[in-house]
Each structure stands twice: as C-alpha cells, then as structure tokens.
Structure 1
Amino acid sequence: MTATLDSAAVAQYLADHPRFFEEHAGLLGDVRLSSPLTGKTVSLQERQMEVMRAKYNALELRMAELVRTATDNTTILNNFHAWHLALLRSQGGAAMARDLVDGLVAHFGVPQATLRLWNVAAEHADAPFAAGVTEDARLFAASLRVPYCGPNKDFEAVRWLDDPAAVRSTVLLPLVADGKTFGLLVLGSPDTERFSPVMATDFLVQLGQSASTALAQLRA
C-alpha cells in the first residue's frame, strides 16, 4: 500500500535531501510553476531566478535607504559641528542667546527660532530673551521630559516667534541646568511635516543639552 504524501512531507524530504535536483536534473525543466509576476507558467529554474531577482531588488532598496540615512546623518553632524563653532566664537553674555538662535536658522535652515529665559541675572533683565513668560508656560516647560516635536497646538511659546500664525509644526526644547528648567527654545516651520511626532528626538535632546550649557551663564 502506497502512503499518500502531503506537501509538507515533500518539502521536508527535499530539505533533507539537498542534492535531490542534482541527481534528478531533468526535473528542473519539467516542473512547472505559476509566476506571480507574469501570471504565466514557468519552469522551476525560471521561478528560482524570479525569487533571486526579488531578493536582490529588496537588498538594493535597503542599501539605498541605508546610504540615504548615512548621508542625512552626516549632514546633521556637519551642521551640528558648525553650530557649535558659532557658539564658541560668540562673545558670550547676552550675545550668546542671539548667536545661538541665529546659528540654528543659518546652519539647520529652521524658518523661525527664538527662546525665553527666566530667573536671569540682573544685567540681562531687559534683554529680549528675558521678556515676560506666564507661569503656565514655565510649568509646561518644566513638565517636558523630552523635547516636544509635532503640530502647533496654539502653544504660548509659539507666539514668541516673529510670525506665529505661519507655524504649522514646532519643536519645544526645555533648557535645564542643575536639574532646574530655566528656559524654552522654540523652533517653528510652516511645513506640517518638518517637525513630525514620528521623528527621533535623540538629536533634539543633544541640541537642548548644548543650548542649556551655553545659556546657563545668563542665569541669576
């Protein structure tokens, strides 16, 4: 009595006997399969070539994606470096706040940027960055454990920008020193996708840390 083989048993047999098609090479041309690409019937060899081409194309796309990501990361790193150099060249004091914001616009192409600091030293009390901030805005800044990156939800901080009505997406970076929040850095763009909630915030965290260190000297 002949046992009936199911497809799983056949597949297991071929897996256990990898030299089967070497020993029965004639079957390679006789076995006919339906191609999902053309809808036509092709030989096992042709189907294998289609599978290999599909894998190769997938690898090419993945490689292109990796190259694009590496290029983007290099651009960000270069811009970050240029921004740091601008901070090192700054005269310090009140000029540091201006140079920091101008550097973000110049090196990162941010359409709008500004900042506010509170509890600043007396000599900076009349500086633009020390303009009034409500208690709600301070509490909001202190509540941010990571930078906010996403749509503008009519934040008070966005109204500090030159043209808040044009802002569709924003980044809000808390400025922290000695465990205390002493300011907020605000970036704005008319592009809804420029600052998206799905963006990784690792770079923004580092940017906030650099800004906090540079501006901490302005505190009281």
Structure 2
Amino acid sequence: MDANEVAQYLKDNTDFFERHAELFSTMKVPHPHEGKAVSLAERQVLALRERVRGMELRVSELVRAASENEHISDRLLLWSRGLLKERDPQALPAAVAGGLGEIFSVPDVALRIWADTAPGDAEAPWRGEVSADARTFANGLMSPYCGPNSGFEASAWLEREVRSLALIPLRVGIAPEAFGLLVLASPDAERFTPSMGTTFLTRIGELASASLSRLLTEAPRA
C-alpha cells in the first residue's frame, strides 16, 4: 500500500485507532520543530496547540480592529455633532476643515467649493481658484482617492509639501457633478496609501457635502 492508500483506508475506517488504541503510545512520528520523535498522541496535542495559537492570534487581530473602528466611529460622531451645532453657514467650511484636522489628527486639510454661493463669499479661502481640469478630475471621482501625491493641483492649496493625501469629492446625493473637493494630506508617505479602506473617508465626504450644501445658492441636481 502506498501513502494515499493508507490515508484512504484510515478515512474509510474511522474506528481504526479505537480498535488499536495502543498505537497512540507506541507509534513515533517526527516532532514538528525539535527534530525528535514523539508519540502519535503527543504529536496530535502539538497540532491542536498550534491551531489554538493561530485562532488566538486571529481573535486578537479582530479585537484590535474592532477597537480601532470603534475609536474612529466615536471621532466621526464628535465631528458630525460639531457640524450640526454650527448655525452659521459661513462658518461651516472652517468647522469642516478644522474639525478634521483636530479630531482626526490630520496634519493638513484644504477645501475648495466652486459651485455658486453667496456673493459675499468671493474672498473666502475656500473659494480659491480651481482649474477646469481639477473640477473634471473631481467629477470623475466616484469614491475618495487615497495614495501618494502625484502632483495633484489640490496639493498646491496646502501650506507645505505633502507626500500622501486623500481627495474627497463633495456632491449632493448621487449628482454626477461635484461642487467642491476636500483634501486631507500629510508629509508622511504612509499616512494615506492605496491599500487603505475608504469607507470612513466616504462617510466624511457625505457628511461634509450635506453640511456645506447649505452654502450653495442652487444645489446640483441629484
């Protein structure tokens, strides 16, 4: 019998070791790590211990991820509450950007709105010039961009050089055109990477869009 036939025989005769219990103490198999022989029973115990250790590590990772997500959710709620409490629409851009920088510890935050707003907003920082190419790029973002700074125009809106950033389009509902762009940036190249999930960034964009839409004289059609 070859090894496959032996394995198949044991599968077909699950009571084999019940009928030959003495094999657990007399059979010797290689130790998985120490290079010595151990009994079949001891080898099975070692295998179970390794499985349990792997499960413990997995549970530990899940608990850590859950804790991090809960922390992010708490901060998102705190930021959202600040936006809801702001009664002056003209103060909302500063509340959006400042809150993100403070609550989420983002080194650099920039905001631009190019849709029509009140005439008195013309000199506001968030009404700075935005090229047609940058607007087209924002319109094409169906989800936030997260990754290295590849010479984006939006990086020039920041006061210092950045190496990674998140670009979040601002739009009303499912409107095809964005009315602005929110930029989160960092001089750390690993702060925002393509491998990062964008779920929370999407939520930030939705909340910021809903708040800042109060500034628009005519909201884009959803």
Question: Does TM, scored on the shorter chain, surpass 0.5?
Answer: yes
Q: Which runs of 4+ in 1 moved over 4 A?
A: none
1:75 aligns with 71
- TM-score normalized with structure 1 length: 0.93
Q: Contact conserved, 1:114 with 1:187, CA < 8 A, in 2?
A: yes
Match of 1:138 in 2: 135
Residue 92 (structure 1) shift: 2.8
Partners of 1:175 and 1:184 within 8 A in 2: yes
Deviation at 1:123, TM superposition (A): 2.5
1:7 aligns with 2:7: no
CA distance in 1, matches of 2:188, 2:15: 59
| 1:204 corresponds to | 201
Report the Cα distance in structure 1 between the residues aligned to 2:198 and 2:115, rounded to whole angstroms. Answer: 27
Deviation, 1:18, is 2.1
Which of 181, 201, 204 aligns to 1:184? It is 181
Q: How far 1:136 sits from its partner (Å)?
A: 1.4
After superposition, give the CA deviation of every residue in 1:156-183 in whole Å (9 maximum; x if it has no partner): 10110121x1x11100001012612110
CA distance in 2, matches of 1:54, 1:25: 24
Residue in structure 2 matching 1:174, options 150, 169, 178: 169
RMSD: 1.2
**In 1, Cα distance between equivalents of 2:172 and 2:112:** 14
What code does the residue aligned with 1:214 have?
S
Structure 1, unpaired ranges of 5+: none
- How far off is 1:88 after superposition? 1.0
Match of 2:122 in 1: 125
Equivalence for 1:98 = 94
